[in-house]
Structure 1
Amino acid sequence: MYIAMGQKTKIRGLLREDVDKMQLWSKHTEPLFFHYNFPRMNKAERDNWYKIKTVKWKKKSYAIENIEGQVIGYLLIRDIQWFRRESELGIVLNPQYMNQGYGTDAIQAFLHFYFTEMKMQAIYLRTAKYNIRAQRCYEKCGFKTVEEKDFAFEDQYAEIFYKETAPEIRKQFAFVDGVAMTRYAVMRMTKKDYSHAVNSLSTKIMLECE
């Protein structure tokens, strides 16, 4: 059962069989994005990965399909604060389908479900400052940067730390007590922001059709 549908994507609850399909995804070629590659895992590891993503009360995961029904990504909301009605968003796409509007379409479709069906009040996310592509996608969806802050890099054992790396890559990180840190943009959207963005889009479409 699909919880949301966009023009290019369909979103539903994540199934165990989806994890097997993700094993066949293509890989990122840019070193800074290697940690986004979906890991190769044996069956037991895939079972555990699925359990971690789906069984916790404060986390919900969803598969992203294209119109043809292929699983091209997944998104999740974590650290769900049910009393405050807010959570953190995360999204991962098969690199083969990036830069084609699928991420923006999926997020916009999900936000409608999130704010109208789940009746949440706010959603936030974190993205590395060097990930310009992701920031533009989130801004297009209506997210606004509320602060910039250094956090521990998601993959402390990334290949880029253990072999010769171009200066432009290394300068993205600082090491504090042996921990690789990088600057993140913390972005947020409220239900009010979402309603305003939807109304503005509707007005724009109406004007373009006149």
Structure 2
Amino acid sequence: MPDFLHKPTLTGDLVVLRPVTEEDVPALLPLFEDAETNRLTGNHTRFEEAALRTWYGSRGAQDDRLDLAVVERATGRVVGEAVLNLWDEPNESCSFRIGLVPDAAGRGLGTEATRLIVGYGFASLGLYRISLEVYAFNPRAHRAYEKAGFRTEGVLRGALLWEGERVDATVMSVLAPEWEAGGAATVGP
């Protein structure tokens, strides 16, 4: 069984992933307050800062998921979170999600953070499959996931109801053998 209680620090050229804490909440608030970020992630829920502090303060004790803060190396600023969750033990698989504050998008931070946590999931946690869903109105995220080695599996039609409109979700995944064969490296930067 993977050791999700161990919360590593993973270092790349652009970002450092480290255990997320309650003290990161002020930097992460834009993830939950920005209307466009909520739309792109399909988040209907409004969170109070106190609830977020409780949530992020409890992440270190979780033994079935890995929540890491994304820290921009150049500035030392927390710019998002990267998460392996929904651990499916019998099938050695997890879901993945990432969220960046609005002004951190488009600079390669999310792609590198994705590669770091996915690589850790395969190499250190022994996962076989990591999956995600991305909404049809978020093509930038879809491209970033492809760059990180994810492949499209199918479409969940009408999976999200957003402001009266049904939106499809694309299911994507990457498998350990693909990753080991250089799946992310062959897709490009």
- TM-score above 0.5: yes
2:37–2:102 contact (8 Å) kept in structure 1: no
Give the % identical residues: 19
1:132 is displaced (CA, Å) by 0.5
Q: Which residue number corresponds to residue 41 of structure 1?
A: 48
Tell me the secondary structure at the aligned position of residue 23 of structure 1: helix
SS at structure 1 position matched to 2:171 = strand
Partner of 2:100: 93
- Do structure 1's residue 69 and structure 2's residue 54 form an aligned pair? no
- How far 1:200 moved relative to its partner? 5.1
The letter for the 2-side match of 1:20 is P
Separation in structure 1 between the aligned mates of residue 38 and residue 126 of structure 2, nearest angstrom: 39
Aligned-pair CA distance for 1:37:
9.8
Alpha carbons 1:75, 1:90 under 8 Å: kept = yes
- Give the structure with higher Rg (CA): 1
Partner in structure 2 of residue 19 of structure 1: 25
2:158–2:169 CA contact under 8 A, matched in 1: yes
Question: What are the ranges of 5 or more consecutive residues in structure 2 without an aligned counterpart?
Answer: 1-6
- Alpha-carbon deviation of 1:102? 0.7
TM-score, length-scaled by structure 2: 0.80
Report matched runs for 1:129-168 at 5 Å.
129-150=136-157, 152-153=159-160, 160-161=163-164
Q: Is 1:107–2:92 an aligned residue pair? A: no
Deviation at 1:28, TM superposition (A): 4.9
Task: Please state how far the C-alpha of 1:50 moved relative to its aligned partner.
Answer: 2.3
> Residue in 1 aligned with 2:11?
5
CA distance in structure 1 between the partners assigned to 2:45 and 2:106 by the alignment: 18
1-side partners of 2:139 and 2:88: how far apart? Answer: 28
How far 1:32 moved relative to its partner?
3.8
